[in-house]
Amino acid sequence: MTSMLTHAIRNLPASSAWAARVFARSLSCSPQLQAAAVQPKSKKTLAKSGVKNIVVVEGVRIPFLQSGTSYADLMPHDLARAALQGLLNRTNVPKDVVDYIVYGTVIQEVKTSNVAREAALGAGFSDKTPAHTVTMACISSNQAMTTGVGLIAAGQCDVVVAGGVELMSDVPIRHSRKMRKTMLTLNRAKTLGQKLALISKIRPDYFAPELPAVAEFSTSETMGHSADRLAAAFAVSRVEQDEYALRSHTLAKKAQDGGLLLDVVPFKVPGRDTVTKDNGIRPSSMEQMGKLKPAFVKPYGTVTAANSSFLTDGASAMLIMSEEKALAMGYKPKAYLRDFVYVSQDPKDQLLLGPTYATPKVLEKAGLTMADIDVFEFHEAFAGQILANLKAMDSDWFAQNYMGRKSKVGAPPLEKFNTWGGSLSLGHPFGATGCRLAITAAHRLKKEGGQYGLIAACAAGGQGHAMLVELYPQ
């Protein structure tokens, strides 16, 4: 990790005017990203007068698996149902006590567009329990959580289950638009002659399918291509990215072997064995990783399969309550869910900078500084993306010229940052990651003796989210 932490900003070719402006002057990054100002930690609670305390009672997830493996024959609601059942088994919460269920997802299965409802019914919840599905790219389950927080804060509910699900093993592949239009018109044709006339217009190119791509609609650019440009703009080298990815896998393996991933619940896959752990954690070596070719910007890009999060299947679920209700039911909450913010930026050049913009806003909202935070859990879409965010957060120049701030917020110290692994190693089911971040922050706070955790994530569309988690008094 030494070269990653001490790597100097270099002038690299940039493919956008924005990136060129970044290079117009040096970014004032600290010599070492893990350096942090030593300040006394505030021990105040983040509770606010007149605002309900909202707590996490428990959070679980089924193992996150690489797409095309043990979950390949299932549907998204099967995974979400398994996460809900895992939550019920762990908490023994009566199903009729749950007032509302919210789930996040990104790539929707047409047959179960409201996957929250189908999963809830499959898990045995009452058909009288409302459920709806939200989508906000990689922060979809973040949105599910904060929707639950809003429902409780508004007095509409006392108990909400929030979660997220993604099944990348089976994504929708559509007929071409010309073929769809012909088929829909054919369905309305009344006579044999009309049907034959329509069929005669079908040409071979009509049968070419529309394949899905993880790309921005507004720019037609894949997220990996954006990550490559972002890494170039902030002079994040291939070596730095590979070192960070290796760090993520190594820490995740250590956490997995040490029994620290307490949110994982086993899932008996129909027709297969019981899955008990994530299968994407694979510590490698710098030599092996260095052999991989660029995945997006060829031949000179720095983003590869080894330093990117992989296509993942998985689901998560979280039990959220008002503190009063949780205590009345005899639960010992894990953490408070406190202030949160959502941000939006330019979806082309700043697509993946959500954490940089969201972090200072949520800290200022709560009256905290970076030095007050004990654990950081940031979503790792790409190693280049996460390192670019750390450099942007540690740059006065970027803060002044792009964020309208007088000074930088500062980079999180690495000894507090994603120390149980992250999306690069644990996996990233788009709609399910946010809940993993929150419950991991809660578990780390308890294990490490901290008080405040900060979760942050970027999302397609140039959006982002950050939330503060406060450990419940032990």
Integer Cα distance of 460 and 265 in angstroms: 29
List, for residues 294-303, the tens digit of each pLDDT value.
999 999 999 9
Residue 119 pLDDT more than 70? yes
- pLDDT: which is higher, 220 or 2: 220
pLDDT-derived band at 11, boundaries 50, 70, 90: very low
Q: Is 308 exposed, middle or buried (0-12, 13-18, 19+ CB in 10 A)?
A: buried
Catalytic residue among 29, 157, 435, 458: 458
Integer Cα distance of 17 and 216 in angstroms: 19
Highest mean pLDDT among 43-47, 207-211, 444-448: 444-448
Catalytic residue among 29, 138, 157, 435: 138
Q: Give the whole-number percent of the chain exceeding pLDDT 90.
A: 78
Residue spans per domain, the chain: 54-171+256-471, 175-210
Integer Cα distance of 334 and 337 in angstroms: 10
Active site (annotated) includes residue 157: no
List, for residues 419-467, the tens digit of each pLDDT value.
999 999 999 999 999 999 999 999 999 999 999 999 999 998 899 999 9
pLDDT at residue number 224: 87
Q: Is 209 exposed, middle or buried (0-12, 13-18, 19+ CB in 10 A)?
A: exposed
Burial 153-164 (b: 16+ CB within 10 A, else e): beeebbbbbbbb
List, for residues 147-162, the tens digit of each pLDDT value.
999 999 999 999 999 9
List, for residues 373-395, the tens digit of each pLDDT value.
999 999 999 999 999 999 999 99
pLDDT-derived band at 322, boundaries 50, 70, 90: very high
State the architecture of 54-171+256-471 in CATH terms.
3-Layer(aba) Sandwich (3.40)
Strand blocks (E) in 25-177: 54-61, 65-66, 100-104, 131-134, 159-166
Integer Cα distance of 154 and 315 in angstroms: 27
pLDDT at residue number 8: 34
Active site (annotated) includes residue 435: no
pLDDT-derived band at 222, boundaries 50, 70, 90: confident
Residue in this structure with the two tokens 């406060």, named with its chain if needed = 470
Backbone angles phi, psi at 245, to 5 degrees: -60, -40
Over the chain, what is the mean pLDDT?
A: 90
List, for residues 53-89, the tens digit of each pLDDT value.
999 999 999 999 999 999 999 999 999 999 999 999 9
pLDDT at residue number 17: 43
Strand blocks (E) in 105-205: 131-134, 159-166
pLDDT at residue number 43: 66
pLDDT at residue number 229: 93
Q: What is the mean pLDDT of residues 239-244?
A: 98
pLDDT at residue number 110: 87
Strand blocks (E) in 23-123: 54-61, 65-66, 100-104
Q: Give the whole-number percent of the chain exceeding pLDDT 70.
A: 91
Q: What is the mean pLDDT of residues 192-214?
A: 85
Residues β-bridged to residue 6: none
Residue 212 pLDDT more than 80? no
